[in-house]
Amino acid sequence: MSKKIDERIPQNSGEGANFKSYYGIQSPWNKIYSYQDALHYASRFESVLSAATTQALRIIVPDYQERAQLMCEEAYQRLYTTGKYYGDDDGFGIHPFMCGQYAGALIGDKGDDALLMCGRCQDFGSYRAEKELDVCDWDICGSELCRTTTMSLQGQAAASAERRRKGPGMDYMMVEAKGCGDRHCRIIAESREKYPAPPHELWESFGPAVTEDMKKYTEEEDCISESMMFREECGYRFANGTNNETDSSNQMINMSTGASLYILPAIAETVKRGYVTRKQADHILKCVLEAAGKAMFGERYAIRACREWLGVPDTIGEDGRVMGALIEMLLQSLVCEYEVEAFNEKEVILVIDRSGLEITATKDVPETHLWMWGGMVKTLVNAQWSLWEEDSPENKMRIKIAKRIDEFM
Amino acid sequence: MYKNIFKYDDMKRSEHMSVRTTVGWYFWTHQLLEITGPDVTAFLDYIFPNNIGSLAVGKDRYTTMLNEQGEIIDDVVVMRRSEDIYWVSTLYATKTDDWWYFHQGDYDVEWSEITDEWSMYAVQGPKSRDLVSGLVKKLEEDSVEGPVDDLKFFSHMETQIHGIPCIINRGGFSGEKLGYEIYVHPDDCESLEGYLKPAAEALGGKEVTEFQVMAWTLPTEANFYYMRDLAHTNPFEVGLEKNIKWDKDFIGKEALLKIKEEGPKREMVGFEVPEADIYIRSKQYGGPGEAVYIDGEEEEVGRVSKLVYSYVKEVNIGYILAKKGALHMGDKIKIHGYDAVITKMNWL
């Protein structure tokens, strides 16, 4: 008999993670999900929302190259600036003797794990670094996002390097991307001093790598599905090679999403550059997000699965409480404060803390959720029901779910 | 086929071997905490398990730092700068600062981080004395502390290099018998490098620029640990119990005595993998490290902590943190499908 003990569920995961009553989330009908489940749920939902916002951006800037370059420029500059003024080298385990841009890989490595993008660092040196991911919930958003995240890392690496003794520059490239259909995401950073290659535009951040023959490809049977912070063999701790350790309380699911960190800022950049007005951008976003929301429960089996997940009693039929409960689960997962003002068969009213939804301080994130929820309610409940914002107090978003007739809906 | 990232890399090889055969110098600044006060020696003796009280002025000592469970939470070099001033060289100053704060109690001590005031250069290898001595020689007549040639291992002295005030410490992380660390003010880095570079080249040496060489390949050949290797182990498991001063009180002592009595459950062992182009995950990159199995058996007996390449022995080498007594010298093991053999932990 094998003495092997299979992976067990995390112990104490989420301890100290700010949940008041549970290390997890609880539906109005007492369905309780673990902290780990909550993070996975929020991660996937936000990725779907991010994928929808990407479609809006694609409408605004139809040309792939032009769009990707815009996104990369915007993200590089913003993350470079953020890294320059708010960088925390010590917090990423970047030691004082680490000269050059390779130390930036430590920033990406830690962020990946905190965003449930699990995988492994395969190389980490002054002239070459390699990180391989097995999971990335953002893989449905579009390959231009893969390029953009890579250039944002390039910006952070550059900012971090400027704080220390001058060292080798690094060209960060995502040479495989789950967003392109690859099994893995693989970022390889190479110093062009050691591994020469022609210069490229920011958007051309897919390689190829000069050191292709050094890459380590993990076969399917060795792939993982959880971050270190949720794996028993890791002691439920993320740890990098410089002994930077964190537990699951340092997750970033409610701190960074594809939409909040990249897509919505890119849309704001299109407004700044005159592609569209802010009003037009919001109109496009609203159209796309409502459609995406409606598509989520277009099939009856999706509704049944959602009701089961929420623990909706059979005595509750098609009313707004189902939608309200689903929103509550997301808000709890994002550790976003809210109050329940009404929750009955006629109406549900939730008063949501806007700042809790303004992930990465991106001001229009609450509206994107509102528009998506507005579509979801039409199929999760039925078309008699609507979701809208009404009488919001300052810094709050007061949403109402009720039956409504609107001839211009 | 996974091309070995060390073996065929002429740059890493050249930098590594310059330290082994002549001299290599590199920017090696660590974080520095300066601590002083009437109770400073007693406090450090409480914080660290090794003997601090016996440390003479101008001398250094390596020691682990333990938590109450006896786990190693840092390994540092303590430098006694004067009767009541010590420097502690670490890479985890923020954590150490917190740790000291929470354990200060009634000890009358104060400390501050002085990392921004001192940059450090390592000069390592058989010709390192020639290099450092050559740079200091012109000023020897002015030196009040004697020539650098007489500096004993883990001793430091104040001197000047072409007018640059500096502290020279004999020691290092390369495993070389001869090695020095030069501390200078950050404003003097460029000037110092201007002297180090030609002096090294004149001796057939060079600058080491690769992190993997300075932090991994050089120390591993000599059985030195990077902190990641030590995390969540205790001194008995990694062979660092020998210099613990048992007749004093220190954090972790009670737990460590229990471990001593019961015996450690794990131990660090060396291994080699003859095949060159391999894919074996190790903790030095983060994560749990590859599981290790005795050939033909199913039970996991350890995890790979470190895997590098020995340019001296021309073979993949590393450390495994294994169940105590499970692996012995010469044992044949399988790691991720590759044949490996258990060895001693020193390849020099």
Instruction: Give this complex's ipTM.
Output: 0.95
What residue ranges do the domains of chain A occupy? 24-40+276-403, 62-243
CATH of B23-29+118-204, one of 3.40.50.1820, 3.30.1360.120, 3.30.450.40, 3.40.50.12780: 3.30.1360.120
Mutate which: A4, A92, A97, A110, vs B, most B CBs within 10 A: A97
Nearest by CB: B287 against A120, A125, A214: A120
All residues of chain A having their beta carbon less than 8 Å from the beta carbon of residue B94 are 90
User: Considering only CA atoms, which of B163, B154, B207 is closest in space to residue B185?
Assistant: B163
Integer Cα distance of A180 and A172 in angstroms: 17
Contact B212 A126 (CB under 8 A): yes
The residue type found at A30 is N
Q: B235 to chain A, minimum CA–CA distance in Å? A: 17
Contact A216 B91 (CB under 8 A): no
Q: Using CA atoms of B42, B43, B48, B51 in order, give the dihedral in degrees to the nearest 10.
A: -10
Q: How many other β-carbons are positioned within 10 Å of the β-carbon of residue B325? A: 12
Q: By CA distance, what is A219's nearest residue in B?
A: B279
Q: Are strands B72-82 and B60-66 parallel, antiparallel or unpaired?
A: antiparallel
Q: What is the pLDDT of residues B82-96, one digit of tens each?
A: 999 999 999 999 999
The residue type found at A135 is V
| Protein fold of B31-116 | Alpha-Beta Plaits (3.30.70)
Q: Name A27's Cβ contacts closer than 8 Å, sequence gap at least 6.
A: A310, A311, A325, A328, A329
Contact A124 B285 (CB under 8 A): yes
Contact A243 B231 (CB under 8 A): yes
Nearest by CB: B210 against A3, A122, A126: A126
Helix axes B128-136, B189-202, angle to 10 degrees: 130
Q: Name A222's Cβ contacts closer than 8 Å, sequence gap at least 6.
A: none
Counting residues of chain B whose pLDDT is more than 90, the rounded percentage is 95
Please give the pLDDT value at position B297: 85
Q: A62 to chain B, minimum CA–CA distance in Å? A: 40
Integer Cα distance of A304 and B204 in angstroms: 75
All residues of chain B having their beta carbon less than 8 Å from the beta carbon of residue A192 are none
Q: What is the pLDDT of residues B123-170, one digit of tens each?
A: 999 999 999 999 997 555 554 455 889 999 999 999 999 999 999 999
Q: By CA distance, what is A216's nearest residue in B?
A: B2
Please give the pLDDT value at position A21: 46
Contact present, A262 and A143 (Cβ < 8 Å): no
Please give the pLDDT value at position B144: 47
Contact present, A46 and A253 (Cβ < 8 Å): yes
Contact A216 B2 (CB under 8 A): yes
What residue ranges do the domains of chain B occupy? 23-29+118-204, 31-116
Mutate which: B32, B211, B228, B279, vs A, most A CBs within 10 A: B211
Integer Cα distance of A144 and A75 in angstroms: 12
Strand pairing partners for A123?
Answer: A130
Cβ–Cβ contact B296 with A under 8 A: no
Please give the pLDDT value at position A409: 86
Q: Which of residues 121-180 of A touch B (CB under 8 A)?
A: 121-128, 165, 167-168
Q: What is the pLDDT of residues B8-31, one digit of tens each?
A: 999 999 999 999 999 999 999 999
**Which ranges of chain A have pLDDT less than 70?**
1-23
User: Considering only CA atoms, which of B217, B292, B87 is closest in space to residue A125?
Assistant: B217
Q: B25 to chain A, minimum CA–CA distance in Å? A: 13
Contact B11 A126 (CB under 8 A): no
All residues of chain B having their beta carbon less than 8 Å from the beta carbon of residue A215 are 2
Mutate which: A192, A215, A229, A243, vs B, most B CBs within 10 A: A243
**Residue B247 φ then ψ, to 5°:** -90, 35
Integer Cα distance of A233 and A152 in angstroms: 31
Q: By CA distance, what is B288's nearest residue in A?
A: A234
Contact B29 A96 (CB under 8 A): yes
Nearest by CB: B286 against A3, A4, A240: A240
Integer Cα distance of B320 and B308 in angstroms: 12
Please give the pLDDT value at position B138: 59
Integer Cα distance of A182 and B257 in angstroms: 52
Q: What is the pLDDT of residues B201-227, one digit of tens each?
A: 999 999 999 999 999 999 999 999 999
Of B35-44, B270-279, B294-303, B323-332, which range is least confident?
A: B294-303
Residue B199 C-alpha from the chain's centroid: 25
Integer Cα distance of A160 and B9 in angstroms: 26
Integer Cα distance of A38 and A329 in angstroms: 8
Nearest by CB: B27 against A4, A165, A235: A165
Counting residues of chain B whose pLDDT is more than 70, the rounded percentage is 97
**Residue B301 φ then ψ, to 5°:** -115, -5
Q: By CA distance, what is B4's nearest residue in A?
A: A214
**Residue A393 φ then ψ, to 5°:** -65, 165
Please give the pLDDT value at position A2: 53
Please give the pLDDT value at position A70: 98
Burial class of A251 by CB neighbour count within 10 A (0 to 12, 13 to 18, 19+): buried
Please give the pLDDT value at position B139: 52
Cβ–Cβ contact B299 with A under 8 A: yes
Q: Are strands B206-207 and B24-27 parallel, antiparallel or unpaired?
A: parallel
Q: What is the pLDDT of residues B96-113, one digit of tens each?
A: 999 999 999 999 999 999
Contact present, B45 and B35 (Cβ < 8 Å): no
Please give the pLDDT value at position B298: 86
Strand pairing partners for A238?
Answer: A246
- CATH number for the region A24-40+276-403 comes to 3.90.1520
Mutate which: B190, B209, B217, B284, vs A, most A CBs within 10 A: B209
Round the CA-based radius of gyration of chain A to a whole number and report it: 22
Q: What is the pLDDT of residues B61-77, one digit of tens each?
A: 999 999 999 999 999 99
Contact present, A350 and A338 (Cβ < 8 Å): yes
Integer Cα distance of A84 and A107 in angstroms: 13
All residues of chain B having their beta carbon less than 8 Å from the beta carbon of residue A168 are 209
All residues of chain A having their beta carbon less than 8 Å from the beta carbon of residue B210 are 125-127
User: Considering only CA atoms, which of B186, B58, B189, B26 is closest in space to residue B118?
Assistant: B186
